[in-house]
Amino acid sequence: MSSLKRIYLACRVAIAELNLRNYLLSVSILIGSFILGLLVNNDSNNGVISVLRKEYLFWDPQTLNITIAIAGWISGLIISGTLYNNWFKEENQTIRTLTLPLSNAERFAAMTLLYFVYAPLTTLLPPLLLTMAACMMAPEAFILPAPVYLWEALIIGWLAHAATCIAWLFPSIAYGKKVGFVLVGIIGAVILYLNLTYSTISDVANIPYTATAMLDQSVVGLSDQSFQLSEAPRTTVRVAYDPDQSLYPFAQLVFALMMLAAAYFALTRKTT
Amino acid sequence: MILQANSIHHNYGSGQDILNGVDLTISQSGITGLCAPNGEGKTTLLKLIAGLQFPSKGDISVLGQTPSDRPLDLLQRLYFLPSEPFFPKWTPRKIAAYYGPFYPNFNNQLFLETLSDFRADPDKPLDKVSFGQKRRAQLAFALATRTQILLLDEPTTGLDIQGKDQFRRTLIAGTEAGQTIIIATHLLSEIAPVLDHVLVLNDGKIHAHLPLELAQRFYSFNLTTSPLPYGDKGYARRVPGGWLTVHADGRQGNAAFDLETLYLALTDGGLPQPGFDLNTKNFQA
C-alpha cells in the first residue's frame, strides 16, 4: 500500500468520526448572525440595517466577509478541537492514534490535511455557498453583496484558522495543558513588541482652529478641530512605525519552523 | 529474534523505577502469559514493546527494530490491545472497513467468523452493546489483524465462558499461523491451557520466564491434608479439601499443575526456578 493510500485512509477514518453537526456549525453561526441582523436596529455605518425596524436589509461586503470568516474560524476551531479530542485527548485515544500503522511523515501529512485544509474548507465554503445562493434567490428587500466580493472571507478565515492551529494544535498534542503558559507568553511578547514599536515622543502640538492658521509656516498638520505646530513644546502622542517589510516573511518562517518542531514532538511523543 | 530487551529501566518521572533492569528474550512464536502483582509494570512493559513508552535506560528490539521509533513496518506487524481501548461508536463491521485496511494481513472473513463465534452482532453500534460485547468486538478485531505480534492487556475481562473458550481457540489458531502473542493478565487460570511460556514480573524485574511444558515437568503439585512441615522448601496454599503444595523436585505429583499456585510460589514463596537451556530444551542441574 502506498503512502498516499495510507494518508487517505487516515483522513477517511478521522472524517468518518466527525458528526454531521460539525458541518452545520458555520452555517448555523452565519444564519444566527443574519437573524440577529434582522432583529437589531443598526445604522448603515456598520453595514446592517434591520428589515424589522427599517424597510430593507443591507449587508455590505466587508461586514459579510468578516462575519463568514469569523463563523468559519469559530467552527473550524470546533472541528479541529473535535478531531483533537477524538485522536489525542485521552490516553487510550492517543494509544490508538500512535499505534495506527502510519509513518510519522504520513501521520503529519494526514493531520496537516485535516487541520489546515479539510477543517477550514468545510467551515468556510458552506456559508460562502449559502450566501451566494441567497444572493441569487433573495427578495429585493435583502441586499447582499455579489459573490465576487466574498472570496476574501476564504483567505481571512483560513489565515485566522491556520494561525490559531499553529499556536495551539501540535504544541497541545506534544505538551498538553502546559501550552497555555506558552500561549500567554506569546501574547505577552506581542504586546511588548507593539509597545516597543510605538513612539511616545512627538514634537508637534495642537493649536486652536482658525481660518488662517494654515498660512503659518510652522503649521505642519490638520486634525478635526485643530492645527498642529512643528515647533511647539513636546507632548506625548503615540505613533506607530511601519515595521520593516522583511518582518512578515521572517515571522512566517519562524512560525512554520515552530509548527514543524511542535509537530515532530507531538508525533514522536510517548503516551502518559 | 522476535523480541529482545536488555536491562530495561523505566519510570514515570517519580524517580523510582517501575521496571528495574528487565531482560527478556522471545525467539519463537507462541503464547506468553505475563503476570505480575498490581502496579508492577505489566502494562508498562507492553507499552514499551509497542513503542508507546520509551525506556529510560536499556534497549528493546522488536522484530529487529526499535519500537520507540515507531517504524511503519513494525506498526503493521504489531497490534496492541489495551485493557480499555478507544474504539469509535460504530458497528464492528464499519470499524473493520475503516481500520482493517491499515493492517496488510487483516482478514475480514476471520473477523466476521470470530464475531459470530463470540455471539457479537457485527451490525450493532458499540455504544449500544454491553461491556462484554464491546470487548468481544475489540478482541475479534485484534485477532483478525493477523499481526506477527499481538499484545493483549487483560483480554478476558468481560468475556463469558463461551467467549473465553472461543478466545483460546482463536489464540491457538493464531500461533499455528506463526503469531507471537503476549497476554498480560491476572486471570492466569483462564488462559493457562493455551500458554507456551509464562513470564513473572516482580520487583521491576523478570522474576521467572518459564516454558510451561517444562515447568510442568519441573514442579510437582500435591494435595495434602496438612501444611508443609517446618524446613520444607516447597510452597503450600490453602485450597478446598486441604493444601495444595508445590515443590521444585521434578517428581510426579498427585494434583494437577496449577499456574496460579505456581505464580504465588514463585513470587511469594520464593520457590527455586529451573535453569533452562534453550538449545537442548532441558533443565540445567
Domain that holds residue B24: 3-87+144-203
CB-CB under 8 Å, B75 with A101: yes
Within an 8 Å CB–CB cutoff, is residue B127 touching chain A? no
The amino acid at A103? S
**B39 lies in the same domain as B64:** yes
Task: Measure in Å the smallest separation between the Cα of A8 and chain B Cα atoms.
Answer: 11
Q: Which of B157, B172, B203 is the last residue of a domain?
A: B203
Q: Half-sphere exposure of A173 toward its Cβ, with a 13 Å CA cutoff?
A: 31
By Cβ distance, the residue of B51, B78, B84 closest to A92 is B84
Is the distance from CB of B34 to CB of B22 less than 8 angstroms? no
Q: Which of B203, B227, B246 is the last residue of a domain?
A: B203
Return the residue matching grid coordinates 519463537.
B28
Is the distance from CB of B33 to CB of B192 less than 8 angstroms? yes
Within an 8 Å CB–CB cutoff, is residue A269 touching chain B? no
**B272 lies in the same domain as B168:** no
Residue B57 has pLDDT above 70, yes or no: yes
- Which triple of cell numbers denotes residue B274? 529451573
Distance CA A26, CA B59 (A): 50
**B69 lies in the same domain as B148:** yes
Within an 8 Å CB–CB cutoff, is residue B88 touching chain A? yes
Q: Which of B155, B179, B203 is the last residue of a domain?
A: B203
Sheet with B78-81, strands from edge to edge, namely B78-81, B149-153, B180-184, B30-35, B197-202, B205-211
Separation in Å, CA B178 to CA B31, B172, B252? 10, 10, 32
Q: How far is CA A129 from the centre of its chain?
A: 19
Domain locations along chain A: 3-178, 198-240
CB-CB under 8 Å, A96 with B47: no
Residue B10 lies in a domain: yes
Residue B119 lies in a domain: no
Name the band, by pLDDT with cuts 50, 70 and 90, for residue A244.
low
Distance CA B19, CA B9 (A): 5
For the stretch A12-43, pLDDT in tens is 999 999 988 888 888 898 888 877 766 665 55
CB-CB under 8 Å, A270 with B54: yes
Is the distance from CB of A258 to CB of A166 less than 8 angstroms? yes
Task: Measure in Å the smallest separation between the Cα of A16 and chain B Cα atoms.
Answer: 9
Q: What total number of domains does chain B contain?
A: 2
Residue B35 lies in a domain: yes
Within an 8 Å CB–CB cutoff, is residue B79 touching chain A? yes
**B219 lies in the same domain as B258:** yes
**B82 contacts on A by Cβ (under 8 Å):** 92, 95
For the stretch A100-117, pLDDT in tens is 999 989 999 999 999 999
For the stretch B168-224, pLDDT in tens is 888 888 888 888 999 998 888 888 888 888 888 888 888 888 888 888 888 888 888
Task: Measure in Å the smallest separation between the Cα of B151 and chain A Cα atoms.
Answer: 12
Task: Measure in Å the smallest separation between the Cα of A127 and chain B Cα atoms.
Answer: 29
Q: What is the mean pLDDT of residues B121-137?
A: 89
Distance CA A15, CA B96 (A): 16
Predicted pLDDT at B280: 55
Q: Please list, in sequence order, all residues whose beta carbon lies within 8 angstroms of the beta carbon of residue B45, skipping any fewer than 6 positions away.
A: B8, B19, B22, B34, B184, B201
Residue B193 lies in a domain: yes
Sheet with A226-229, strands from edge to edge, namely A205-208, A226-229, A219-222
- Which residue has better confidence, A58 or B33? B33
Tell me the torsion sign for CA atoms B272, B276, B281, B283: negative
**B193 lies in the same domain as B71:** yes
Distance CA A76, CA A125 (A): 11
Q: Please list, in sequence order, all residues whose beta carbon lies within 8 angstroms of the beta carbon of residue A129, skipping any fewer than 6 positions away.
A: none
Nearest Cα residue to A106 out of A271, A241, A267, A269: A267
- Which triple of cell numbers denotes residue B178? 506463526
**A101 contacts on B by Cβ (under 8 Å):** 72, 75-76, 102-103
Report yes or no for ipTM above 0.85: no
Q: What is the DSSP string of B138-174?
A: HHHHHHHT--SEEEEESTTTT--HHHHHHHHHHHHHH
**A13 contacts on B by Cβ (under 8 Å):** 98-99
For the stretch A155-206, pLDDT in tens is 889 988 988 888 888 888 887 777 778 778 888 888 887 777 665 555 566 6
B contact test, residue of A95, A102, A107, A264 with most B CBs within 10 A:
A95
Alpha helices (H) along A85-196: 91-99, 104-113, 119-137, 151-175, 179-196
Q: How many CB pairs under 8 A join A and B?
A: 63
- Which triple of cell numbers denotes residue A135? 444572493
Distance CA B136, CA B132 (A): 6
Please list, residue by residue across A85-109, b when 16 or more beta carbons sit within 10 angstroms of its beta carbon and e when fewer do: ebbbbeeebbbbbbbbbbbbebbbb
**B156 lies in the same domain as B262:** no
Task: Measure in Å the smallest separation between the Cα of A80 and chain B Cα atoms.
Answer: 17
Residue B264 lies in a domain: yes
Q: What is the mean pLDDT of residues A247-262?
A: 81
Mean pLDDT over each residue of chain A, to the nearest integer:
79
**B199 lies in the same domain as B218:** no
How many CB atoms are closer than 10 A to CB B67?
A: 25
Residue B55 lies in a domain: yes
Is the distance from CB of B81 to CB of B153 less than 8 angstroms? yes
Distance CA B198, CA B35 (A): 7
**B14 lies in the same domain as B81:** yes
Distance CA B17, CA B167 (A): 34
**B277 lies in the same domain as B148:** no
pTM of the model as a whole: 0.80
